[in-house]
Amino acid sequence: MEQNIYDNAHFFKEYQAMRKGTLSANDLIEIPEIRLMMPDLSGKRVLELGCGAGGNASFFIEKGASFYLGTDISVNMINEAKNSFENEKVSFQVLKMEDLSTLQEQFDVIISSLAIHYVADFDKLCKDVYRLLPKEGYFIFSQEHPIGTGTILNEECQKEDKTKIGDKEYYLVSNYNENGKRIVDWNDCKVVKYHRNFSYLINTILLNQFKIVEFREPTPSEELLKIKPKLKNQFDKPYFLFVSLKKE
């Protein structure tokens, strides 16, 4: 039997918003994918690193989490989150990812959605997260994809990370094998990000005793492509990398 996705109330609401151009690749790919990667959340204590305005909190509570703590470096974001949620199981706190050592309690599931690439010291982050997890605890994160974070675009291609040769589009790639700081333009602001190639990520994860559960580089479904054709670019160069780790 075919699935009539258009009669799914949630999808249709998102579909309408998307037709108005308000849904991004984050909404359409990143958020659904990281949620698919979650283990059973019943009774689990959840910590989110870089929670922003707390958009994920209700998902975790609906899935049965006993407690959700959202942390973010931004006071504005945490204030907005606090104003949006009133639930005794949900709590928000201004906290930098660099300062996780101030947390004393443990969490069964620690997640981070598109924030890891703002942290300079990935090794320290792994150590801090490991300490906050019990055995069998999960660390699940998404980040901008390393093929993209490496590339340094010069003035001539600041606005476009691809080029057309003949009738085929190619993405511009450079500096993949030079880990470190990148300063990029985003909404006319300078944003600092940190690029780490795959081998650095994998080896740092393993040196910190995590078990790798899986990596994901998802592509959009045919359904999604019909309504947002631009996402076919995910077959050429994915925006996101997803990682699921476990403490054994």
Assess 216 for contact with a copy of itself (CB under 8 A): yes
| H/E element, 184 | strand 180-186
Assess 170 for contact with a copy of itself (CB under 8 A): yes
Query: Among residues 83, 87, 101, 174, which is the contact residue for a copy of itself, using CB under 8 A?
Result: 174
73 and 94 Cβ atoms separated by less than 8 Å: yes
The token pair at 166 is 């003949």
Assess 212 for contact with a copy of itself (CB under 8 A): yes
As a whole number of angstroms, the distance between CA 47 and CA 129 comes to 10
**Which residues from 60-119 bind a copy of itself, rule CB under 8 A?**
none
Assess 203 for contact with a copy of itself (CB under 8 A): yes
Query: Among residues 25, 94, 172, 227, which is the contact residue for a copy of itself, using CB under 8 A?
Result: 172
What's the min distance (Å) between Cβ of 136 and a copy of itself? 17
What's the min distance (Å) between Cβ of 224 and a copy of itself? 14
As a whole number of angstroms, the distance between CA 27 and CA 31 comes to 5
147 and 172 Cβ atoms separated by less than 8 Å: no
Assess 197 for contact with a copy of itself (CB under 8 A): yes
The token pair at 198 is 């795959």
Amino acid identity of 74? S
Assess 237 for contact with a copy of itself (CB under 8 A): yes
Assess 166 for contact with a copy of itself (CB under 8 A): yes
What's the min distance (Å) between Cβ of 197 and a copy of itself? 6
144 and 117 Cβ atoms separated by less than 8 Å: yes
Assess 171 for contact with a copy of itself (CB under 8 A): yes
Size of the site for a copy of itself (CB under 8 A): 41
Sheet holding 138-144, edge to edge: 90-94, 67-72, 45-49, 109-113, 138-144, 240-247, 210-216
Assess 209 for contact with a copy of itself (CB under 8 A): no
As a whole number of angstroms, the distance between CA 150 and CA 198 comes to 11
Assess 223 for contact with a copy of itself (CB under 8 A): no
Question: Rounded to an integer, what is the distance from CA 224 to the centroid of its chain?
Answer: 19
Assess 185 for contact with a copy of itself (CB under 8 A): no
Q: Which of 170, 125, 178 is nearest to 149 (CA)?
A: 178
**Which residues from 141-160 bind a copy of itself, rule CB under 8 A?**
147, 151-152, 154-157
Contact positions toward a copy of itself, by CB under 8 A? Answer: 147, 151-152, 154-157, 163, 165-178, 197-199, 202-203, 206, 212-217, 219, 234-238, 241
